[in-house]
Amino acid sequence: MKIITGNDGHEYLFRKLEMNDKEMLSDYFIALSAETKSRFGPHPLTDEFATHLCSKTEDSADRFVIVPKNEAKIVGYFIVGFELSPHEKSRYLSQGIMLEQGLDVLFAPSVADDYQNCGLASQVMPAILFHARQKGARSLVLMGGTQATNSRAIAFYEKFGFVKFGGYQTEVFNHDMRLTF
Ligand SMILES: CC(C)(COP(=O)(O)OP(=O)(O)OC[C@H]1O[C@@H](n2cnc3c(N)ncnc32)[C@H](O)[C@@H]1OP(=O)(O)O)[C@@H](O)C(=O)NCCC(=O)NCCS
């Protein structure tokens, strides 16, 4: 667990997702705006999925949350995933990079709409990078890449050393980005 101070001067806890976070996680998913959901969609953002995540005894990902020190709510949710998908592998392979399970670790960050751009993700990033390295990661790979129009996310990733690696087209163009340790 780590205590951080946002640009708003308030203190927050950064910690692993816990089983009794079910209701807070559900509220967090449901309250995300359509815009944030259009940028962050690693899995269904529903009450059912929050229940599923908080009742898992085994998980292929480590999940972290940011919680205000004096309030029972989640304002940030971060996934560090250890199971590469065939889609990610093939996209990187087309760039000449062979991702390897256990070495190349997926990453997906999100912050609640009212708390975005307050420095929260930047403050927890060193702890996330440290955690990934401790788990043996040689790189962090953005889960699904990031939309080319998501200027804030791209600036945030580049600040921490992520580099663009090609991309792919859905309704929009998505940059693949990877940070190599
Ligand atoms: C992307 C996200 C995780 C970043 O978390 P955050 O807590 O808002 O980020 P921070 O406040 O720590 O940092 C944002 C940085 O982007 C910069 N920034 C903000 N808007 C920007 C813009 N339009 N263009 C360029 N840079 C921008 C900020 O200045 C800040 O950089 P700085 O610290 O050097 O000043 C968060 O905004 C979020 O959840 N967005 C919606 C979901 C999403 O896009 N998830 C990622 C999917 S790939």
pLDDT in tens, 88-123: 999 999 999 999 999 999 999 999 999 999 999 999
pLDDT in tens, 70-81: 999 999 999 999
- State if residue 153 touches ligand 1 by the CB under 6 angstroms criterion: yes
pLDDT in tens, 8-64: 899 999 999 999 999 999 999 999 999 999 999 999 999 999 999 999 999 999 999
Question: 31 C-alpha vs ligand 1 centroid, how far in Å?
Answer: 19
- State if residue 38 touches ligand 1 by the CB under 6 angstroms criterion: no
Are the beta carbons of 6 and 120 closer than 8 angstroms? yes
Compute the distance between CA of residue 27 and CA of residue 38 in angstroms, rounded to an integer: 18
> In terms of pTM, does the model score above 0.95?
yes
- State if residue 155 touches ligand 1 by the CB under 6 angstroms criterion: yes
Question: 153 C-alpha vs ligand 1 centroid, how far in Å?
Answer: 5
Question: 120 C-alpha vs ligand 1 centroid, how far in Å?
Answer: 9
Are the beta carbons of 91 and 175 closer than 8 angstroms? no
Compute the distance between CA of residue 120 and CA of residue 82 in angstroms, rounded to an integer: 24
Question: 38 C-alpha vs ligand 1 centroid, how far in Å?
Answer: 15
- Give the domain ranges of the chain: 2-180
CA 109, chain centre distance (Å)? 2
Are the beta carbons of 118 and 5 closer than 8 angstroms? no
- State if residue 150 touches ligand 1 by the CB under 6 angstroms criterion: yes
Question: Under CATH, domain 2-180 is a member of which superfamily?
Answer: Gcn5-related N-acetyltransferase (GNAT) (3.40.630.30)
Q: Give pLDDT, residue 1.
A: 83
- State if residue 97 touches ligand 1 by the CB under 6 angstroms criterion: no
